């Protein structure tokens, strides 16, 4: 009851000096706004990076890379077998800690065409069905390759929506869905039949933009079309994922590799062997197991290496931490300045009210109640500033995402808002402490005599 | 047993090299229900005496007993409690809080006493009725005349039903007509049994009260009790006797 009264008196005090109070709150407002906005932007960044990471196949994906043989094995260099399908069979057979093993054989300088239209997709790759688990693809239409396709090296392919957009036109442009199942395209002049098409993959932000675009017909024509090419945000994990062409591994071998190669020896090496570990906790032993298996198939020549997503995650975490730190420092400084402002104004305010404080003491206010009164006023100012800061942060976020639309959508977090308000309250308490003690210690007579 | 007992109370200020004895070895008794005026020229120590009696200040030397409790060495917290429950103040400059309404001003001592909101309202309104200002409860002090403000101050001083009411020059800032009305109010309160100590430098006002304490240079120069003058209770000076008339 007394608390509510005191808060009301504090609010009244602020209302009487509106302009002064706003100036005082400015530090807190800026501090909170920058804290919340920064956190929102960093969170957006984090989300974007994680989304991209998952688009690329998730955290448990490990790439087995080609590597120069180590120096001490230099004399064995010519015997290095490279990564072949033998490794894949061996890993599937003898490395139970691996959940998925996916061989990839890519076609270099691939050009896909339909009639006069031709374009370079992100990749044309010969794969097994394991690639779906590996790269987290889901079919939207049609089917994936079956054993028959693999066995008889059928000329079939499964495409991403980007390929469809390029060769058959995008549904946005056409205004209806386009599903080119059964249609024929040419890959480096070999005819292939489309048997399946993947889902459309996009970032959260793009999805929102697209949905907004659908509501607003004037923007309907743009959208995915603008994402084409290498520049800007078109060149990202999602573009790559949507502009993929998969064909059966055996088809790749028979149609493209077997007929080429140096010295009439076709190149048997795989472009990639990707594996997934059964569980992330077992990452180390799983890799050790894989290494042991590969050491056997490679006759002890260590011409391979593992690259986990951990490096990627570390990098992401580091960047996020840096962003957090700089945001935190800016916000912290603003809040500090805000705190000093509040202390200043509270000192001025008690000087103006020495007489009032004296009167209150004369009619029975204890030092504690005067102390609380001043402290609560200080906290009321800081919390009010924090609330204004929260409102300002929304504006700041909108402004920042207007300024750099390539960024990920900032995510304002309730948690951060609570922390910001709590922190401001703490600043208010600390700033109010000294003025409150000073007011509580005022001698009532001196205060009453004060003119 | 007197309500207030002062024994050898001194208040000494040191200003630069000078020593100022605002009160110099004052001993006094005041009974419950008395209506006393403290009179003396400017700078004689009247306000100092009132502040010490009113627990706003503590003496340099001497002892004070108020309502059977020694208070000269009480803690600030205890003094605040006594000021809140046992003492009411009325000042020359009214000393109402300008940002609060009349009603809130009267409620304030009860806020510090922890009285519930509803009871506060009821008691405040009763007090305002008593001083005939219940129709102005929502106004600000600045919207009232001086006399009205002083009546609000009296309502505020009495709202916690204190044993003693102190008034320091309560009519000093009012024209004589309004001042008289305020004095009339004090007299009425006195007949209801309230102990009132009225500080003034105006002999005419002091003449209203049954007992007068005259202060000069920090000392009690005269201590006259009209009711008991004939019984020679106090060593009053003969020279003051005609003034009782
Ligand atoms: N804080 C102080 N420091 C130094 N001297 C003081 C202080 N307060 C009061 N005095 C001195 O004590 C003496 C008594 O002051 P006091 O205010 O009690 O006089 P008063 O009788 O109330 O006068 P007035 O009728 O003008 O109000 C004065 O000489 C004054 O200067
Ligand atoms: Mg005085």
Most confident by average pLDDT, A299-308, A383-392, A438-447, B169-178 = A383-392
Domain chopping of chain A, boundaries = 2-52+315-449, 98-277
**What's the whole-number mean pLDDT along residues A321-328?**
88
> For residue B214, what is the enclosing H or E element?
strand B211-216
Mean of pLDDT values over B84-93? 91
Which one of B22, B169, B172, B218 would you pick to mutate in the ligand 1 pocket, going by the greatest count of ligand atoms within 8 A of its CB?
B22
Structure tokens at A88: 């894949």
Closest CA to A81 of A268, A316, A346: A268
Cβ–Cβ below 8 Å for B83 and A361: yes
* Chain A nearest C-alpha distance from B80 (Å): 5
Give the closest ligand to the alpha carbon of residue B16.
1
Beta pairing, strands A123-127 & A244-248:
parallel
Chain A residues closer than 8 Å to B96 by CB: 359
Name the residue among A1, A364, A443 with its Cβ closest to that of B113.
A364
A367 chain-B contacts, CB cut-off 8 A = 76-77, 80
- A355 CB neighbours in chain B (<8 A) are 95
CB B61 less than 6 A from any atom of ligand 1: no
Q: pLDDT tens digit string along A196-255?
A: 999 998 877 777 777 776 665 544 444 444 433 333 344 578 888 899 999 999 999 888
* Contact between chains at A367 and B80 (C-beta distance less than 8 A): yes
Stretch A150-166: mean pLDDT, rounded? 91
Kindly compute the dihedral angle of the four CA atoms of residues A214, A216, A218, A220, in this order, to the nearest 10 degrees.
Answer: -10
Q: Tell me phi and psi for residue A330, to 5 degrees.
A: -60, -50
| Helix locations, B90-175, DSSP H | 102-113, 117-130, 146-158
Residue of A nearest to B162 (CA): A363
Backbone φ, ψ for residue B27 (5° rounding): -125, 135
Residue range B140-166: mean pLDDT, rounded: 92
Percent pLDDT > 90 in chain A is: 27
pLDDT in tens, A382-402: 999 999 999 999 998 888 878
Closest alpha carbon within chain B to A13: B99
B81, B83, B111: residue with CB nearest A362? B83
Whether residue B234 is predicted with pLDDT greater than 70 in this model: the reply is no
Q: B229 — phi, psi (to 5°)? A: -55, -45
Residue A322 scores a pLDDT above 50? yes
Q: What is the mean pLDDT of chain A?
A: 84
Residue B38 beta carbon below 6 angstroms from any ligand 1 atom:
no
- Please indicate whether, in this complex, the C-beta atoms of B95 and A366 are within 8 angstroms of each other: no
* A16/B99 touch (CB, cutoff 8 Å), yes or no: yes
Tally C-beta pairs within 8 A across A and B: 66
pLDDT digits (tens, 9 = 90+) for B98-138: 888 999 999 999 988 988 889 999 999 999 998 889 899 99
**C-beta of residue B40 within 8 angstroms of C-beta of residue B221:** yes
Domains detected in chain B: 31-58+79-235 (3.40.50.300)
CB B102 within 8 A of CB B140: yes
How many helices, marked H, and strands, marked E, lie in chain B? 8, 10
Nearest-by-CA chain A residue for B95: A359
Minimal Cα distance from B109: which residue of A?
A363
Contact between B99 and A13 using a beta-carbon 8 Å cutoff: yes
Mean pLDDT of B16-41: 91
The average pLDDT across A151-163 equals 92
Single pTM value for the model: 0.70
Please count the CA atoms within 13 angstroms of the CA of B94 that sit on its side-chain side: 21
């Amino acid at each position: 009851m007394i608390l509510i009264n005191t808060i009301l008196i504090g609010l009244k005090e602020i209302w009487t000096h509106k302009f002064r109070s706003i100036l005082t709150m400015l530090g807190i407002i800026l501090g909170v706004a920058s804290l919340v906005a920064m956190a929102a932007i960093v969170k957006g960044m984090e989300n974007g990076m994680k989304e991209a990471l998952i688009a690329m196949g998730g955290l448990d994906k490990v790439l087995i890379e080609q590597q120069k043989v180590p120096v001490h094995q230099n004399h064995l260099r010519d015997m290095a077998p490279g990564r072949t399908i033998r490794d894949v069979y061996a890993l599937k057979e003898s490395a139970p800690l691996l959940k998925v093993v996916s061989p990839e054989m890519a076609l270099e300088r691939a050009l896909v065409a339909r009639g006069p239209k031709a374009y370079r997709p992100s990749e044309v790759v010969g794969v097994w069905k394991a690639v779906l688990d590996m790269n987290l693809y889901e079919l939207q239409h049609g089917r994936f390759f079956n054993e028959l396709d693999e066995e008889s090296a059928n000329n079939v392919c499964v495409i991403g929506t980007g390929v469809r957009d390029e060769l058959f036109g995008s549904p946005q442009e056409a205004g209806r869905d386009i599903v080119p199942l059964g249609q024929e395209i040419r890959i480096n002049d070999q005819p292939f039949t489309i048997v399946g098409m993947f889902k459309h993959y996009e970032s959260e932000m793009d999805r929102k933009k697209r949905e907004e675009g659908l509501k607003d017909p004037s923007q309907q024509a743009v959208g995915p079309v603008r994402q084409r090419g290498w520049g800007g945000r078109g060149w990202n994990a999602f573009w790559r994922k949507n502009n993929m062409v998969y064909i059966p591994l055996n088809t790749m071998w028979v149609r493209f590799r077997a007929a080429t190669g140096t010295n009439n020896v076709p190149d048997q090496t795989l472009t990639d062997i990707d594996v997934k570990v059964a569980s992330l906790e077992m990452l180390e032993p799983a890799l050790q197991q894989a290494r042991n298996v590969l050491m056997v198939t490679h006759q002890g020549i260590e011409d391979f290496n593992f690259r986990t997503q951990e490096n990627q995650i570390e990098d992401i975490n580091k960047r996020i931490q840096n962003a957090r730190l700089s945001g935190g420092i800016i916000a912290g400084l603003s809040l500090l300045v805000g705190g000093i402002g509040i202390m200043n104004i509270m000192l001025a305010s008690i000087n103006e009210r020495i007489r009032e404080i004296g009167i209150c003491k004369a009619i029975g206010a204890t030092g504690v109640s005067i102390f609380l009164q001043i402290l609560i006023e200080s906290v009321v100012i800081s919390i009010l500033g924090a609330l204004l800061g929260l409102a300002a942060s929304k504006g700041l976020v909108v402004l920042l995402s207007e300024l750099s639309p390539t960024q990920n959508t900032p995510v304002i977090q309730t948690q951060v808002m609570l922390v910001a308000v709590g922190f401001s309250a703490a600043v208010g308490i600390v700033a109010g402490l000294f003025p409150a003690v000073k007011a509580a210690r005022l001698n009532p007579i001196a205060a009453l005599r004060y003119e | 047993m007197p309500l207030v007992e002062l024994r050898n109370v001194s208040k000494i200020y040191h200003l630069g090299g000078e020593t100022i004895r605002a009160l110099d070895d004052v001993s006094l008794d005041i009974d419950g229900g008395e209506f006393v005026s403290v009179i003396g020229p400017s700078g004689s120590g009247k306000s100092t005496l009132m502040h010490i009696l009113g627990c706003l200040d503590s003496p340099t030397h001497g002892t004070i007993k108020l309502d059977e409790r020694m208070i000269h060495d009480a803690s600030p917290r205890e003094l605040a409690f006594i000021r809140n429950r046992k003492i009411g103040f009325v000042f020359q400059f009214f000393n109402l809080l300008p940002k609060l309404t009349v009603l809130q001003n009267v409620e304030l001592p009860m806020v510090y006493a922890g009285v519930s909101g509803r009871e506060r309202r009821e008691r405040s309104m009763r007090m305002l009725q008593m001083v005939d200002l219940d129709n102005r409860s929502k106004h600000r002090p600045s919207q009232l005349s001086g006399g009205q403000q002083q009546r609000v101050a009296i309502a505020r001083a009495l709202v916690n039903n204190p044993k003693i009411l102190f008034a320091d020059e309560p009519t000093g800032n009012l024209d004589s007509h309004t001042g008289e009305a305020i004095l009339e109010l004090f007299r009425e309160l006195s007949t209801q049994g309230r102990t009132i100590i009225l500080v003034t430098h105006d002999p005419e006002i002091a003449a209203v009260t049954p007992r007068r304490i005259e202060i000069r240079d920090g000392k009690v120069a005269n201590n006259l009790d009209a009711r008991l003058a004939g019984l020679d209770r106090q060593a009053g000076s003969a020279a003051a006797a005609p003034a009782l008339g």
